[in-house]
Amino acid sequence: MGSVQRLATVVIVGLVALSTILFLYLGDEDNRIDAKDELHLEASISRATDIFVTLCLQCHGPAGEGFTEPGAQGTGRIGAPLGGVNESLNQEGVNSTGTPWPGGVDARAKIIYDTILFGLPTADGTGYRMPPFGGASGSLTDEQISELVVFIQNADWNAVYNTAVVASGGFPTPPPAAGPVEEEPAAPSEVDEGEAGVASAYTIESHDIFFVPEELEIPADADVTIELPNLGSATHNFSIDELDISVDLAPGETKEIVINAPAGEYVYYCNIPGHREAGMVGTLIVSEDASPAVASPADIDASPAPDDAEAAAEDTTDADGEGAAAVEPVTVVSHDIFFEPVEVTIPPGTDVVFSLPNEGAAAHNFSIDELEISVDLAPGETKEIVVNAPPGEYVFYCDVPGHREAGMIGTLLVE
């Protein structure tokens, strides 16, 4: 009986030990589930970080700061803040003043998801302030969009910034100086008549996130030099598949290529993932009828003929024979995301023509509330208005949500 009792004791002790282990295992189930979820979250954030650095960084900045420094010009970015002032809103469901967002974090998640999926149309519906990244024409799957939402709502933006710096080999989107002076695009240089069959240089600029021009015509079966300056804050590329051309362009870099192609139409695009889908695409027309590049307008003598000059002088003379000062037209350029210039002076009680070109990648607007002026401008569009105002100081600004706060504001002095 002694051996039976010992065996029974061993069995009982073993069962008690097994029960204890099972109890502890089951009792720690929540911790094990949390650890699994944490690993899954980290993996999602890691994958989404790579997507953000590739597709989103050029518009939203390396730390998700977007168009920063309200009131300052030239941030070099057109995307809304994801981190920074909007971090608590996206990650905690409250804005920077602690006011809860209706629906909290879940409601913000839906807004972020829908924005990435469908994009943000321009005010006039003719384009996109932000392109759609989902759907049949988008570059992201539903799973990738969901992971980007998780990333935006859970990422450590300092870690994202460090990853962006490493991936870019330095600070990836250096903001330009406030109020940069935009130079006129270089016109094609004059043709060298001494070398038959050779056309002179053309230029295709890379911006964030489009080409200028979007259509270029060159002569067929001739060596054509094309300059490729990257004027954007992100890395870009110039590719033409049919001609085996692929040129990578670092920010601020300019390269040259020589194209000799048969007549036809060729698509050029940026092969950085997502950039073509976002609008970095153009058409190269190679035509047997195309003339080589012509002389720059600056090389053409635009001075009026003697008769024209006399007529112009007569036009500036009033009925009493006294000279009347001509009022020069005014140009106010919309950029991403500032005006150039930020201060304009015109005489009172005088019709002044304002030319309003939008050279940005986003839709903009020119508004002066006191004068009941509001002009919507699609990317690349130019409109003209006539301003006639009494003496005073007026504010002009862009009424697209967030743009005035980001620095699209200026002063009109009528004196």
Which part of the chain is CATH 2.60.40.420?
198-293, 325-414
Is domain 198-293 classified as CATH 3.40.640.10?
no
Relative to beta strand 392-397, strand 409-414 is antiparallel
The number of beta carbons lying within 10 Å of the beta carbon of residue 324 is 11
Task: Classify the C-alpha dihedral 279-64-164-154 as positive or negative.
Answer: negative
DSSP state of 53: I
Integer Cα distance of 22 and 26 in angstroms: 6
Percent helix, strand and coil across the chain, each rounded to 5?
A: 30, 25, 45
Q: Which residues of the chain have pLDDT under 70?
A: 1-2, 4, 10-11, 21-34, 36, 67-78, 85, 96, 122-129, 137, 168-201, 208, 232-234, 273-274, 277-278, 290-326, 336-337, 360-362, 401-402, 405-406
Instruction: List beta partners, residue 356.
Output: 383
Report the topology of domain 325-414. Answer: Immunoglobulin-like (2.60.40)
> Among 331, 379, 373, which Cα is nearest to 358's?
379
* Contact between 282 and 215 (Cβ < 8 Å): yes
The CATH number of the domain covering residues in 35-168: 1.10.760
DSSP string covering 121-166: E-TTSSSEEE---SSTT-SS-HHHHHHHHHHHHH--HHHHHHHHHH
The number of beta carbons lying within 10 Å of the beta carbon of residue 127 is 18
Which part of the chain is CATH 1.10.760?
35-168
pTM for this predicted structure: 0.41
Question: For the sheet containing 198-203, what is the strand order?
Answer: 198-203, 223-229, 254-259
The single-letter code of the amino acid at 231 is L
Q: In this predicted structure, what is the pLDDT of residue 172?
A: 56
pLDDT digits (tens, 9 = 90+) for 94-129: 876 778 888 888 888 998 998 888 887 766 666 666
The number of beta carbons lying within 10 Å of the beta carbon of residue 34 is 10
Integer Cα distance of 23 and 232 in angstroms: 61
Integer Cα distance of 275 and 278 in angstroms: 5
Integer Cα distance of 257 and 245 in angstroms: 9
Q: In this predicted structure, what is the pLDDT of residue 276?
A: 78
